[in-house]
Amino acid sequence: MASSSSSSRVSPVRRALLLSSFLFCFLPRHVAAGATGAGGYVTVSTNGFADSSATCDEPAGPVIAPRQRNGTLAVLRLAHRCGPSTASASFAEVQRADQRRVEYIQRRVSGVGSRGAKGALQQLAAGSRSATVPTTMGVGTFQYVVTVSLGTPGVSQTVEVDTGSDVSWVQCKPCSAPACYSQRDQLFDPAKSSTYSAVPCGADACSELRIYEAGCSGSQCGYVVSYGDGSNTTGVYGSDTLALAPGNTVGTFLFGCGHAQAGMFAGIDGLLALGRQSMSLKSQAAGAYGGVFSYCLPSKQSAAGYLTLGGPSSASGFATTGLLTAWAAPTFYMVMLTGISVGGQQVAVPASAFAGGTVVDTGTVITRLPPTAYAALRSAFRGAIAPYGYPSAPANGILDTCYDFSRYGVVTLPTVALTFSGGATLALEAPGILSSGCLAFAPNGGDGDAAILGNVQQRSFAVRFDGSTVGFMPGAC
């Protein structure tokens, strides 16, 4: 989904990101506090600390979607990704895939292996309009999916939502094992859709694939995508009608028809890319929905969240921070993390540690922090929780601060909050602090490397992107 250097040398990208943090320091301060509030401690039930890979229930109850105030809105149900129990990955496998994705993102952002990459940032202009789909989280994978309809007549496809990629795809006929894996929904058959069109090799849409272009299959444009966790998909590029929700369609949606896949894809029919490049759904739907989108990732497998395209152009009610771009990796949504607090007290971390910026990513599970910042957070958290006498537990892979809460019905935890440029503060709820009884953070390769805000810390918050800012709002699903 390379090892990183811990050198203190600051690259141009990191210097630019560090410099950009000062551009927002005079903006109004906002707090996106979760149910835990902004206080020093919170008492919570230990029921929520169970291994989330143990069961896979269908989400119950209605989706609480944002209310439309102006413009056009499409809302999709977002849920945990659920695959066959025999294909569910272990937590150790998830961590290994997560680490590979993290290393890939950090290589991209730093410009390692990027030909002609420039260490510069750009603040982007905002957009406006909208559509919402429900979202869910997957067993053993810790990813999130929505169900859309593709083609005419429409075929339901359950696809993973990924803000860190640009090419959407589904498995297509003709395709059989082992080239294609088993999926719950029927394979999409372009031959049975009256609105499907193949993308010719010489078309602009084909050339816009750039690094994802894979030559020709006959006269049809080919594509290939390799993900940071080692998964990959290859096939042909085409377009068809994509129905997001009743009355909300994208008429000529460009996507990959996958004929050969490998990796941790069990439980999904494909992927819905929400990155920042021209071929992503966010960009393709910008004409109808204005380039604004938001989502809420549910914290439980029995709950549902939403993915919304469009909505009000105003970020009223959100704690916002400036959106940055690393030219070496323009796909990613980057912000500037500036501080961490534990138990209501600011943790001492030098600003230079955050100079690589922070990628907001739905596909990364555990938030990665620069080693200096992580060490300070870990020390402060251990010290704040120590008076309660909870027994420690062995490390769980990359999670090295773990506790045995088996004898407790409720526990008291120190709060953890992340502050971004402009003062926007994300006060985490308990599921964003602990995962399987462990502090849900890990160190990245080195100080100054890009940090990553993973999906564990984003759960239950509305996260909004409008082209110039990223916003957070608590208690949204």
Q: What is the structure's pLDDT at 132?
A: 54
Q: Which residues contact 22 (CB under 8 A, 6 or more apart)?
A: none
Give me the chain's average pLDDT, please: 81
Q: What is the pLDDT of residues 282-310, one digit of tens each?
A: 999 999 998 899 999 998 777 889 999 99
Residue 23 clears pLDDT 60, i.e. is over it: no
C-alpha distances (whole Å) from 22 to each of 156, 209, 318, 426 are 47, 35, 21, 19
Say how far apart CA 45 and CA 430 lie, in whole Å: 9
Q: Which of 59-68, 116-125, 225-234, 368-377 has the highest mean pLDDT?
A: 368-377
**406: confidence class by pLDDT, cuts 50, 70, 90:** very high
Say how far apart CA 64 and CA 66 lie, in whole Å: 7
Per the annotation, the verdict on 466 as an active-site residue is: no
Which among 389, 384, 400 is positioned nearest to 440, based on CA atoms?
A: 400
Q: What is the pLDDT of residues 117-133, one digit of tens each?
A: 223 223 222 233 345 55
C-alpha distances (whole Å) from 246 to each of 131, 243, 268, 287, 343 are 10, 7, 22, 18, 45
Say how far apart CA 477 and CA 144 lie, in whole Å: 14
**103: confidence class by pLDDT, cuts 50, 70, 90:** confident
Mean pLDDT over 262-272 rounds to 86
Cα 286-292-293 angle, rounded to 5 deg: 110
Q: What is the pLDDT of residues 459-475, one digit of tens each?
A: 999 999 998 999 999 98
Q: What is the structure's pLDDT at 130?
A: 44
For residue 95, being part of any structural domain is answered with: no
Per the annotation, the verdict on 361 as an active-site residue is: yes
Could you tell me what percent of the chain has a pLDDT over 70?
78
Considering only residues 218 and 26, tell me which one the structure prediction assigns the higher pLDDT: 218
Instruction: Given the residues 98, 166, 240, 361, select the one marked as catalytic.
Output: 361
Residue 140 clears pLDDT 70, i.e. is over it: no
For residue 388, being part of any structural domain is answered with: yes
Residue 64 clears pLDDT 90, i.e. is over it: no
For residue 365, being part of any structural domain is answered with: yes
Q: What is the structure's pLDDT at 353?
A: 94
CA neighbours closer than 13 Å in the CB half-sphere of residue 245? 21
For residue 79, being part of any structural domain is answered with: yes
**50: confidence class by pLDDT, cuts 50, 70, 90:** low
Residue 430 clears pLDDT 50, i.e. is over it: yes
Q: What is the pLDDT of residues 319-360, one digit of tens each?
A: 999 999 888 889 999 999 999 999 999 999 999 999 999 999
Mean pLDDT over 240-262 rounds to 93
Say how far apart CA 307 and CA 294 lie, in whole Å: 6
Q: What is the structure's pLDDT at 313?
A: 76
For residue 92, being part of any structural domain is answered with: no
pTM listed for this prediction:
0.83
Q: What is the structure's pLDDT at 129?
A: 39
Q: What is the pLDDT of residues 377-402, one digit of tens each?
A: 999 999 999 999 999 999 999 999 99
Number of domains in the chain: 1
For residue 1, being part of any structural domain is answered with: no
Q: Which domain holds residue 456?
A: 12-84+102-473
For residue 3, being part of any structural domain is answered with: no
CATH number of the domain enclosing 236:
2.40.70.10
Mean pLDDT over 242-259 rounds to 93
At residue 95, what are phi and psi to the nearest 5 degrees? Answer: -65, -40
For residue 251, being part of any structural domain is answered with: yes
**Least confident window among 44-48, 154-158, 388-392:** 44-48
Instruction: Given the residues 98, 162, 229, 240, select the one marked as catalytic.
Output: 162
Q: What is the pLDDT of residues 158-215, one digit of tens each?
A: 999 999 999 999 999 998 888 999 888 999 999 999 999 999 999 999 999 999 999 9
Q: What is the structure's pLDDT at 201?
A: 94
Could you tell me what percent of the chain has a pLDDT over 90?
54
